[in-house]
């Protein structure tokens, strides 16, 4: 693992800054940079005359080998003679690499998701993104409707994207009616009252994407009455969507 070695010190009385800069350059180019595992070296000077040197080594072993040899190497003696040894303090640090691994893929069982029922039959499953990990910014209804079925009229405070995978669905949004199927994607803006109904002869399968980490639903007046329509959360974890 990469290692950073540091040393702080002051100069002996009578050693000038310009003279030490020359000695420091010589020890860096003539000794340190030639050692196995050398990566880089930086030197800094504080306002009160304290020098700070940081050396980056490829491995801890490379750093230790150079530190062990440094005080006896002929190339370092002029440098050491300029340093006030009692002021020396040193440190050794392992370089912390950034964690670049992103979130892992998650698999959620459909049966573990809360359900929406109509007359006791499951019409949809609710994927509420916020219940399944940090950073998930979308939610969804996975819908499977028999002919004639659909939700009560409602609104969301965000856009909803309707993707019909099978069947024919009549989508009504703020008075505009559109019959759609697998060849189209429909988007209903935020705060627009809407509903949809399976107007085909087969079951309608849809994925309705909610552009929000959590599902928020408010039911409104108007639209078809759906007798027996209910959110059923006994089969899934987490509180129900609002509404």
- For the chain, domain boundaries: 3-94, 110-232
Mean pLDDT value across the chain: 89
**Given a cut of 50, is residue 94 above it in pLDDT?**
yes
Q: Any alpha helices (H) in 40-197, and if so which ranges? A: 60-70, 77-81
Do 110-232 and 3-94 have the same topology in CATH? no
Provide φ and ψ at 38, rounded to 5°: -65, 135
Greater pLDDT, 133 or 88: 88
**Given a cut of 70, is residue 52 above it in pLDDT?**
yes
User: Which residues of 65-184 form beta strands (DSSP E)?
Assistant: 83-94, 115-118, 121-127, 139-145, 154-155, 160-166, 169-173, 176-180
Tell me the Ramachandran region of residue 228: left when phi exceeds 0, alpha when psi lies from -120 to 50, beta otherwise: left
Confidence label for 226 from pLDDT (cuts 50, 70 and 90): low
Check: CB of residue 241 under 8 Å from CB of residue 215: yes
Greater pLDDT, 225 or 141: 141
Q: Which fold has domain 110-232?
A: Jelly Rolls (2.60.120)
Confidence label for 101 from pLDDT (cuts 50, 70 and 90): confident
pLDDT one-digit tens code per residue, 172-208: 999 999 999 999 999 999 999 999 999 999 999 999 9
Place of tokens 């002919």: 147
Greater pLDDT, 221 or 197: 197
The Cα–Cα gap between 113 and 239 comes to 11
Confidence label for 81 from pLDDT (cuts 50, 70 and 90): very high
- Give the model's pLDDT for residue 230: 54
**Given a cut of 80, is residue 235 above it in pLDDT?**
no
- Give the model's pLDDT for residue 225: 63
Burial of 1 (0-12, 13-18, 19+ CB in 10 A): exposed
Confidence label for 236 from pLDDT (cuts 50, 70 and 90): very low
**Given a cut of 60, is residue 243 above it in pLDDT?**
no
Greater pLDDT, 134 or 146: 146
The Cα–Cα gap between 6 and 13 comes to 23
Distance from chain centroid for Cα 210: 20
pLDDT exceeding 90 applies to what percent of the chain?
75
Confidence label for 12 from pLDDT (cuts 50, 70 and 90): very high
pLDDT one-digit tens code per residue, 61-71: 999 999 999 99
CATH class of the domain at 3-94: alpha beta
pLDDT one-digit tens code per residue, 16-42: 999 999 999 999 999 999 999 999 999
């Amino acid at each position: 693992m990469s290692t950073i070695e540091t040393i702080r010190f002051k100069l002996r009385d009578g050693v000038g800054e310009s003279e030490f800069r020359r000695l420091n350059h010589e020890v860096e180019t003539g000794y340190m940079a030639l050692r196995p595992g050398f990566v880089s070296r930086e030197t800094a000077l504080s306002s009160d005359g304290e020098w700070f040197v940081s050396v980056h080594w490829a491995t801890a072993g490379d750093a230790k080998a150079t530190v062990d040899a440094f005080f006896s190497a002929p190339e370092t003696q002029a440098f050491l003679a300029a340093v006030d040894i009692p002021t020396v303090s040193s440190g050794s640090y392992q370089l912390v690499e950034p964690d670049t691994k992103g979130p892992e893929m998650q698999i959620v069982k459909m049966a573990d998701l809360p359900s929406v029922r109509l007359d006791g039959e499951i019409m949809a499953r609710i994927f509420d993104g916020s219940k399944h990990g940090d950073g998930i910014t979308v939610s969804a209804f996975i819908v499977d409707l028999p002919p004639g079925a659909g939700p009560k009229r409602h609104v969301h405070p965000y856009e909803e994207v309707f993707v019909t995978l099978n069947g024919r669905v009549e989508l009504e949004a703020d008075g505009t009616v559109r019959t759609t199927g697998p060849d189209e994607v429909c988007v209903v803006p935020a705060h627009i009252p809407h509903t949809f109904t399976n107007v085909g002869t087969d079951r309608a399968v849809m994925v309705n994407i909610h552009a929000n980490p959590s599902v928020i639903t408010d039911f409104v007046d108007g639209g078809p009455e759906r007798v027996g329509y209910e959110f059923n959360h006994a089969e899934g974890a987490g509180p129900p969507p609002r509404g």
